[in-house]
Amino acid sequence: MAALTKHRVTVGGTTAGGGRIYHFLARKQTFLGLASETGVDEAPLADRDEPVFKLSNLLLKGILVRVNAYYTESGKKRVAKLLVRTDLLKAALGDLPGKSVNGGVIQSCNVPTRSSVF
């Protein structure tokens, strides 16, 4: 299993200040290069002592939304389950296709209709 690293999402402002910052654990390579589209970036070392929220709580509060990103890797169809900040959802569904994730290029994205928060 891949190691989990601390990520952050900022709501209601910028990371420089003025917003509420939530930290959670996720795989390192999942959000690599997708920070502007998803609103999720890797937390800097200065934030390593900040409390970590459960991902299910962030989904239930409506801070994050799950998005399925369909891509091909070595000729096989794959699905990456990404997390997107709620206010960026509409833009992310249009901007994510064409971006790279896990060694493949995203073909399409959607919000799963049957999702679990756990």
Q: Per-domain residue ranges for the chain?
A: 4-110
The CA–CA distances, whole Å, from 52 to 3, 4, 68, 79 equal 16, 12, 24, 26
Q: Residue 24's pLDDT is what?
A: 93
The pLDDT tens digits of the residues spanning 56-98 come to 999 999 999 999 999 998 889 999 999 999 999 999 999 999 9
Which of 25, 111, 97 lies closest to 62, judged by CA? Answer: 111
Q: Residue 117's pLDDT is what?
A: 62
Q: Residue 75's pLDDT is what?
A: 87
Q: Is pLDDT at 15 greater than 80 in this prediction?
A: no
> What average pLDDT does the structure give for the chain?
87
Average pLDDT over residues 18-43: 87
Q: Are 78 and 84 in contact (CB under 8 A)?
A: no
